[in-house]
Structure 1
Amino acid sequence: MRITGYRTATTVHDWGRPIGDANGAVDSGRTSVPVVIVTTDVGLEGIGLGSYDGIDTVFPALDGQDPRAVVALYDRMLAWVFKRGHAGAVFGAIGALDMALWDLKAKAVEQPLWRLLGARDHVVPAYASGLDGPLADEELARLHKRFAERGLQAVKVKGGLDVAADLRRLGLVAELYRDITGQTPALMLDANEAWSRKEAVRHIQRIEEHVDLAWVEEPVRRWDVDGLALVTQSVKAAIATGENLTGLEQFRPLVAGNAVDIVQTGSVWGITHFLRVAALAHAFDLPISPVGYNVNPLAHAAAVVPNHLSIEIQDLAAPIGITADQEVADGHLVLGESPGLGYTVDEDAIARLGDAAGWGDNAGPHVRPDRAGRRLVGKPAIRPRDQV
């Protein structure tokens, strides 16, 4: 079996609500989902989700190769761009291709990827999240009611701009989950790098006077080893970070500096990246928790690593034109028996979409606000729609 080419498409995920965090919002609730399909000379095709920016630069490393040599091909892609740099969008393209190669490898032996990787079970612990920064309280409750009804017993809330608002929202979801599941949920707060070091300590300590937080995510900048170490030493909650780091070389200083309690990886960086970071974390007795993405592509790999804690579930629906053999039930993500990642892509349905959605451009959560890390008084960057 040899790789013969690839094609790309961009579909849309309709969240049915505004989404965002401390940095901004996508008011339309519609975001683009890039898709990469790798083709072979035997007719099998592999599906990868994530950015394909720069894919023309990376793909020659794969052209004509046997896709079953996934790990070797991952290193070949990194080597192919080592002077151009493999961070950012290029690392995303490597991740999407890597995902497609793992999909192909499992399809070639007609097994779900979780089984090929050596997992004993296909049931993966999960927690609820919803990119819920711009939601008013009523919308927040409506969103998390759906998660709680699936039995999820841990929940992450976006925040970081206002202590009173964070306490109110954390209290709201805690009460809702208790009412539905009968248990007090584990609570997490995600600040998305909104604070300076002392802003983080001050904000978290004030919340911890009232709420037992399981973890706080990305309290300061992703590369700030000293800052993250200061925060984790100053608060009771665990500190989680890593979703925006690319490559083991970026994780090593955090682990060596005791600056992270829960290691995270972004789904869009691929499966091999996740497996390697998980092994690094495991060597230091640290748990790993994959950050969510459309139809949870890291779930198969999470099922096999010994230090997996919980995978983030951002939505219960799939992007337009994509189906996935998985479900959220009894507080877990349950993977099916379909070969590979269990995805199917309806390219005709995607082609009929016309213009794809974006991430909100300058107002979206991928643009850092001017005053991030320099706020004397918290000021919401996102106003709930009922206050606009």
Structure 2
Amino acid sequence: MSTHQHRIAKIDVHLVSSPVAAGFADATRTVETIGFTVVRITTDQGLEGFGLTYHEVGGEATRSLILHNIAPRIVGRDPLDTEVLWEELFHYLRGVGRKGLTYCALSAVDLALWDLKGKIIGLPLYRLLGGGKTRLPVYASGGWTSYGDDQLVDEMVGMVGEGYSHIKFKVGVDNAQNLTRDLARVSKVREAVGPDIRLLIDANNCWDAGTAIKFADRAKEFDIYLFEEPVLADDIPGLARVRRGTSIPLATGEHEYTKYGARDLILGEAADIIQLDGARAGGMTEMLKIGALTQAWNLKFAPHAMEHMHMHIVSVMPNALFLERLRIFEDVSNKIVRNAPLPKDGFIEIPTGPGHGLELDMDFIAEFDETKVTGRP
């Protein structure tokens, strides 16, 4: 089939989420629901690609923006024109958001177009992009501040038992007002998992720079592999101050958007590990540029969450450390995608099919699509 014959014919958007019964909380917020905005783009030749972004807060607005503003501008267009479409949408949407839901919408659309691109060409995206790695390291992420100490330790030990060599948990207990207990929890986890497991710590924006440096100074004895978002994500000078004040590698970026957000973090000398999220920052089109920027500054690249959307970009980038698997998303993620690759011994194997290599479970999505039903899974 000639590739030029394909034209975008239809865009569908589904909202699927699940309530978080346990009332999970980090240092700065309680998580009430988790879920996905699922974007499906179908061509006039019947091929379908999909992309995901988040549906926790504002998914309804994201869906509306895609259906009422983005879709009319790309229906009838060539799905292979990802650069052209991204640039047009960037300028069309710039007046209604330089960050936030606007870019969640654009990201999901772009990821769906890349899935289509792979299917039209007949290659998995990592091959289309020039990658070769199919077995990718992944770390487990959980350990909420709402956990009791024993619950935290049990979950971390459980992760190690499942084969993970890198595990992440959260600090900032008691509304980020109890460094002593935070350090005790880090100590308990280190003692429980032993010296060979790499510990990643996430403060979720909870401290000022001085407090974060004080914590890091006392926590370094536990051999912390990565210290994430120690201060407000927008406080780039504060992030830089923390980075100068500790030998623990600093990570941030999940709340940044586009190559310009990555540029600001890099020029601000605010991180050793850049964690922008392709489901927010601009999709595959923009993540390729963000990854290139991290290479140019000899920094590490470690996309936030959405491991199934990030598999192929991590395969391609030589400075990419690993994927992140958010434990809280596992159930709904595995229900949305029929053939979602599961971690084994701390690695994920990229599927061999074209595009993302993933198949949506449309029976599940149709049953629990919140735009059609009132119930949730």
- Whether TM exceeds 0.5 here: the answer is yes
Pairs within 5 Å for 1:268-287: 268-269=279-280, 270-287=283-300
C-alpha contact (below 8 Å) 1:61/1:80 kept by paired residues: no
Q: Structure 2: where are the runs of 5+ without partners?
A: 1-5, 55-61
Question: Taking structure 1 as the reference length, what is the TM-score of the superposition?
Answer: 0.83
- Residues 73, 146 of structure 1: CA spacing in aligned structure 2 closer, same or farther, 3 A cutoff? farther
Deviates more, 1:149-158 or 1:185-194: 149-158
C-alpha contact (below 8 Å) 1:322/1:344 kept by paired residues: yes
The CA deviation at 1:265 is: 0.7
Give the match's secondary structure for 2:95: coil
Give the match's secondary structure for 1:338: coil
The CA deviation at 1:86 is: 3.6
Deviates more, 1:164-173 or 1:120-129: 164-173
Match of 2:97 in 1: 85
Deviation per CA, 1:56-77: give whole Å up to 9, x if none. 2223332211112223322222
- Residues 201, 94 of structure 1: CA spacing in aligned structure 2 closer, same or farther, 3 A cutoff? same
- Residues 169, 273 of structure 1: CA spacing in aligned structure 2 closer, same or farther, 3 A cutoff? farther
The CA deviation at 1:216 is: 1.1
Match of 1:48 in 2: 51
- Residues 273, 16 of structure 1: CA spacing in aligned structure 2 closer, same or farther, 3 A cutoff? farther
The CA deviation at 1:236 is: 1.4
- Residues 355, 176 of structure 1: CA spacing in aligned structure 2 closer, same or farther, 3 A cutoff? farther
C-alpha contact (below 8 Å) 1:241/1:260 kept by paired residues: yes
C-alpha contact (below 8 Å) 2:40/2:51 kept by paired residues: yes
Q: Aligned residues: percent identity?
A: 31
C-alpha contact (below 8 Å) 1:125/1:331 kept by paired residues: yes
2:269 to 258, 282, 301: 258
- Residues 149, 15 of structure 1: CA spacing in aligned structure 2 closer, same or farther, 3 A cutoff? farther
Deviation per CA, 1:298-334: give whole Å up to 9, x if none. 1111110111012211135425332244221222222
Give the total of aligned pairs. 350
Pairs within 5 Å for 1:281-320: 281-293=294-306, 296-315=308-327, 316-317=330-331, 318-320=333-335
- Residues 303, 17 of structure 1: CA spacing in aligned structure 2 closer, same or farther, 3 A cutoff? farther
Greater RCO, 1 or 2 (C-alpha within 8 Å, sep 6+):
1
Give the match's secondary structure for 1:20: coil
Pairs within 5 Å for 1:205-244: 205-208=217-220, 210-244=221-255
Q: Hey, which of these two has a bigger chunk of strand by percent?
A: 1
Q: Hey, which of these two has a bigger chunk of helix by percent?
A: 2
Match of 2:367 in 1: 352
Give the match's secondary structure for 2:342: strand
Match of 1:6 in 2: 11
Match of 2:183 in 1: 167
C-alpha contact (below 8 Å) 1:267/1:296 kept by paired residues: no
Deviates more, 1:349-358 or 1:222-231: 349-358
RMSD, aligned CA: 2.3
C-alpha contact (below 8 Å) 2:190/2:222 kept by paired residues: no
The CA deviation at 1:223 is: 2.6
Match of 1:21 in 2: 26
C-alpha contact (below 8 Å) 2:183/2:218 kept by paired residues: no
